[in-house]
Amino acid sequence: MRLQLCSEVGWYHEAFSSLSKEQVSLFRDEKAFLFLRHTQKEADRLGVNMKVRQETDQKLKGSGADVLIRSLQEQEVEIIFGYPGGAVLPIYDALHRNPIQHVLARHEQGAIHAAEGYARVSGKPGVVIATSGPGATNLVTGIADAMLDSIPLVVFTGQVASGVIGTDAFQEADIIGITQPITKHNYQVKNAEDLPRIINEAFYIASTGRPGPVVIDVPKDISAKMFVEAEQPNEVELPGYQPTTKPNFLQIQKAIQALTASERPLILAGAGVLAARATAELQEFIERHQIPITNTLLGLGTIDGHHELFLGMAGMHGTYTANTAICECDVLLNIGARFDDRLTGNLAHFAPNAKVIHIDIDPAEIGKNVPTAIPIVADAKEALQELLNQPFESPDTAEWLQLLKTNTAAYPLQYKADKERGILPQQAIELIHKLTGGDAVVTTDVGQHQMWAAQYYKFNYPHHWVTSGGLGTMGFGFPAAIGAQLAKPHEKVVAIVGDAGFQMTLQELSLLQEMRLPVKVVILNNQCLGMVRQWQETFYEERYSQSMISVQPDFVKLAQAYDIQGYKVETMAEAEAVFAEAFASNEPVLIDCRVVQLENVYPMVAPGKGLNQMIGVKIE
């Protein structure tokens, strides 16, 4: 018996070595795969000579899905966020054979927000897999969110088999059409042989230039198709995509001249500085030339929150000092921010006296909203290095800094605490800040709690702030915290969320239960849609249409249902004790922090108004 098998294996070997390359390619079907696997198994079992085994190994590249997973490994992907389904069964099967850590979210939206949190904190592209149809459409919010906030993602969606695309097959959705306006680029794989190249390009596109999401749609027959020889991906070759990273020398000279001649210069730093990992250069630059700095919402963390040159966040709920500085500065150096409408307010009143210098890697952002005197298309790090390498005379900013200091002293962020009314949300944020020392990774949804977190949590380090800025996605913060915790297992991660937003993605509590991730979920519970209510109070004469949500689950019991420690606090004294205990623990914790319902976020620039028309600067 044994002899017979041996001779069989020998025959296979002979048959194989006589095959030409073209002939081998004829075997690109299941039969060839089974034939090879059989040969290999037999060779394994019998311990026959290494040559046979090596050759079969080499030829046995597996299915499209195997190639996909291998390409992910080559990209050094450590973690995948996803949810299986019919059209991605071959991919999940390949993942089973060749594991990469996979986080099984309980809803695709949770998976993609977690991937965003992971990408924001780690700087590496987040990888997401979802099935066709509903799986893919559930990702849409996250893809749009990543697009607006420039977060690198590589998203794999399953698709029905190539032959039935366009026939309204079961779980078919035209995800390429759907995601085309909300991705940096997207691909549908037409040939299995293209997979390694496409994956290579996708990671390159997602993570270089201005980062963004890339979708790869993989039909089921492509991922299931066996192919004998996989093409090795070469260098990425994209003639239509060559981001400019080096700043133009003359433009830098112009910027230097403008800065030297200025009396009231100001720097506005956005998330582009974080994406370029240029915070050290930025700090050196502002310290050397004594130029004050303000941040966009997403740019928080580019500079130490306690830095003496830092004026706080600018924009709709920015500090008085920062917004006034924008109105009064004579040179505004924007590094990696896109002059979003929530930052600029009414454009007619934005930086009326300033010569605008704009450094951005995306040329389309320059001059889009604000007329720019000196455009510099470059990577923020390279531009800052260039500015640092050119020694130039610092502007005399002593008087300007003194004025800003007076402003900060006269009009700080303020609130009126009142023991009778209960915990003010601002106090809760300050308490979190005190207990974590400003070192925690903080994630939020959108709304009042987000603004308070941005105002009162002063970050010591960059890449610790994960929030949905551009799209303003409710339900973002909690899953993003899971992704952030996975990226930084040893750091304290606090998800500050509202009661309404939390209920949009709370199913991901299962992940805390399953992985025992020590994420601290703090629900700033005002039993209403805070920001909606605030706008209704201010602009709609207190007609609280559909914004008061008095019926809610018992969040403590909810936490317990997921085997997570849950607390409810209603007074500052309780909060101090519970928060301290929770933050010291190494387990997941959920805190239902009841806060004053009718508190408003101030100061505020009403929509359509200029940054010089702030309301609520001084609280009586």
Tell me which residues touch another protein (CB under 8 A).
176-177, 180-181, 184-185, 188, 190, 205, 238-241, 244, 362-364, 367-368, 377
Give me the DSSP letters along 259-324.
HHH-SSEEEEE-HHHHHTT-HHHHHHHHHHHT--EEE-TTTTTSS-TT-TTEEEE-STT--HHHHH
Kindly tell me which of 4 and 242 has the beta carbon lying closer to another protein. Answer: 242
Q: Is 108 a catalytic residue?
A: yes
- The catalytically annotated residue of 59, 61, 124, 220 is 220
Closest CB to another protein among residues 218, 595: 218
The distance of closest approach from Cβ of residue 109 to another protein in the complex, given in angstroms and rounded to an integer, is 23
Q: Which among 42, 108, 328, 508 is annotated as catalytic?
A: 108
Please check whether residue 334 is in contact with residue 296, taking contact to mean a CB–CB distance below 8 angstroms.
no
The nearest distance, CB 209 to another protein, in angstroms, is 9
Look up residue 477 and give its two tokens. Answer: 């913060």
In angstroms, what is the minimal distance from the CB of 365 to another protein?
Answer: 9
Residue closer to another protein (CB basis): 377 or 495? 377
- Shortest separation between residue 224's beta carbon and another protein, angstroms: 22
Residue with smaller CB distance to another protein, 115 or 205:
205
Active site residue 350: no
Given the residues 171, 414, 507, 513, the one annotated as active site: 171
Closer Cβ to another protein, 180 or 560, answer by number:
180
The token pair that represents 449 in the structure block: 């709690």
When the beta carbons of 362 and 491 are compared against another protein, the nearer one is 362
Total Cβ atoms within 10 A of residue 541: 7
Supply the minimum distance, in Å, between the C-beta of residue 241 and another protein: 5
Task: Decide: helix, strand or coil at residue 552.
Answer: coil
Per-residue DSSP letters for 23-92? Answer: HHHHT-SHHHHHHHHHHHHHHHHHT--HHHHHHHHHH---BHHHHHHHHHHHTT--EEEE---GGGHHHH
Could you please report the per-residue DSSP string of 317-380?
A: T--HHHHHHHHH-SEEEEES----HHHH-SGGGSSTTPEEEEEES-GGGTTSSS--SEEEES-H
In whole angstroms, give the CA distance from residue 590 to residue 311.
Answer: 33
Q: How far apart are CA 155 and CA 39, in angstroms?
A: 36
Of the residues 226, 313, 531, 604, only one is catalytic, namely 531
Q: Is 220 tagged catalytic?
A: yes
Would you call 1 a catalytic residue per the annotation?
Answer: no
**Cβ of residue 258: shortest distance to another protein, in angstroms?**
22
> In this complex, which beta carbon is closest to another protein, that of residue 183 or of residue 443?
183
Shortest distance (Å) from residue 536 CB to another protein = 30
d(CA 275, CA 323): 24
The single-letter DSSP state of residue 399 is H
The answer to whether 283 is a known catalytic residue is no
Q: What is the C-alpha to C-alpha distance for residues 560 and 55, in angstroms, rounded to an integer? A: 55
Dist CA 526 CA 552 (whole Å) = 11
Backbone phi and psi for residue 295, each to the nearest 5 degrees, phi listed first: -120, 155
Residues tagged active-site: 108, 170-171, 220, 531
